[in-house]
Amino acid sequence: MDLSSILILSSSFIAFTSIYIILALSTNLEYGYTGIPNFGKVFYYFVGAIVSSIVASSLYNTALGIVDGFTAEAASKRTAYSASNPLFAIEVFLVSLAVSAIASGLIGYLSSYPALALKEDFLAITLLVFGEAARIFVRTYEPLVGGVYGMSGIPNPLNWIPDRALALTLYSLILAAAAIATLILVERLANSPFGRVMKSVRDDEIASSSLGKNVARVRGAVLFISSSLSGIAGCFYTFYSQSIFPDDYVPPVTFFVISMMLLGGAGNNVGTIIGAVILSLFERLTQASTLALFGILPPFDISFLRYASTGALIILVLLFRPQGIVREGIVKTPLYRILSRRLGYGDDRGRGSKRN
């Protein structure tokens, strides 16, 4: 293997891990902190992908005067244009990112209505149905993103870098930075008074509303934030694969992300990241193409084994370590830090204190 193929392989690892980290952290915000079982995670991810591909392709099509954007010719024209216009490519990327974040967030906010009305298990079914319905609609309604065949030629914002391996590596590093930014965001959110309110909604909705917390607003806000994060992940994936295929966004993606969060530890962001890294490494390593590098050719479709072990992992974690790898910590708000210093237990970061 030469350097460029190593770079491409490692960039795919980094890119997928970062995307999964963003998705898992947003799931953790919903399920781990607020107790909303979002079995339709892939729906918001999909919305981000659809919106960003529509925005990007229509911006390119207008700039180039393309009428039918779904042909292979149009796709190659868009790619060629992005290679010669770096500024335009980056602008399109940023606009798509913003629009998809807002669109997914709004749809997430709207789904807080059923989230309010339904019991957990039925909410899970409803959100799962939303995702499947959206996928079936999009794969049938061709004017949106080209139906079953999807659309390609959504140029990567770094297409103008002549060396493909370098461009992919840089792009995956951008994704890694975004994953770190997401971690900082959700960590700040979780260790704030709002984080405590989220946990109170999760643990006892009635008690928290009796203390004057607006449960509906908390749920709406959490779903807005987490869904726009998933939308951002969808946008990143679209620009990474430079295409969109509706059949990539099937429910097993949601289940995979949920199992990442469960493995790492629901209600703990660092744990969630550990789970996401472990499982996305596992996912990348059990690709048929990766296994073929080591000369392993199983007599069945290897993705079946991956999904089966996801299921087994979910059950085993629930049976033997329900709290996950890293257990849920305490909420470390600024006030908590001050009090723990004044009262003299633990150092000023609140470490080593009694567990609440």
**Are the C-beta atoms of residues 26 and 243 closer than 8 Å to each other?**
no
Which is closer to another protein, CB of 73 or CB of 120? 120
> Could you give the CA distance from residue 95 to residue 56 in angstroms, rounded to a whole number?
8
The answer to the question of residue 248 lying near another protein (CB under 8 A) is: no
Query: Please, which of residues 310-349 interact with another protein by CB under 8 A?
Result: 310-315, 318-319, 322
Sign of CA dihedral 159, 160, 166, 171: negative
Which is closer to another protein, CB of 32 or CB of 157? 32
Residue 261: CB minimum distance to another protein, A: 10
Which is closer to another protein, CB of 91 or CB of 120? 120
User: Given its phi and psi angles, is residue 132 left (phi above 0), alpha (psi -120 to 50 degrees) or beta?
Assistant: alpha
Q: Select from 141, 170, 154 the least CA-distant residue to 97.
A: 154
User: Total residues at the site for another protein (CB under 8 A)?
Assistant: 45
Structure tokens at 228: 């726009």
Q: Binder to another protein among 16, 239, 255, 336 (CB under 8 A)?
A: 255
**Are the C-beta atoms of residues 48 and 22 closer than 8 Å to each other?**
no
Which span sits near another protein by CB under 8 A: 7-15, 18-26, 186-194, 248-256?
Answer: 248-256
Q: Select from 310, 326, 315 the least CA-distant residue to 265.
A: 326
Which span sits near another protein by CB under 8 A: 2-10, 168-176, 297-305, 335-343?
Answer: 297-305
**Are the C-beta atoms of residues 223 and 115 closer than 8 Å to each other?**
yes
Contact partners, residue 146, CB within 8 Å, separation at least 6: 70
**Are the C-beta atoms of residues 226 and 30 closer than 8 Å to each other?**
yes
- By DSSP bridging, strand 151-152 and strand 243-244 are antiparallel
Q: Binder to another protein among 259, 268, 269, 340 (CB under 8 A)?
A: 259
Site string for another protein, 121-160 (x = CB under 8 A): xx-xxx-xxx-xx--xx--x--------------------
Q: Binder to another protein among 58, 163, 252, 335 (CB under 8 A)?
A: 252
Site string for another protein, 93-122 (x = CB under 8 A): ---------------------x--xxxxxx
Query: Please, which of residues 199-218 interact with another protein by CB under 8 A?
Result: 205
Residue 116: CB minimum distance to another protein, A: 9
Sign of CA dihedral 290, 296, 300, 302: negative
From the number of C-beta atoms within 10 Å of its C-beta (0-12, 13-18, 19+), residue 344 rates as exposed
Q: Binder to another protein among 6, 64, 149, 307 (CB under 8 A)?
A: 307
Which is closer to another protein, CB of 252 or CB of 334? 252
Q: Which residue ranges make up the site for another protein (CB under 8 A)? A: 31, 35, 37, 39, 114, 117-122, 124-126, 128-130, 132-133, 136-137, 140, 205, 251-252, 255, 258-259, 262, 299-301, 304-305, 307-308, 310-315, 318-319, 322
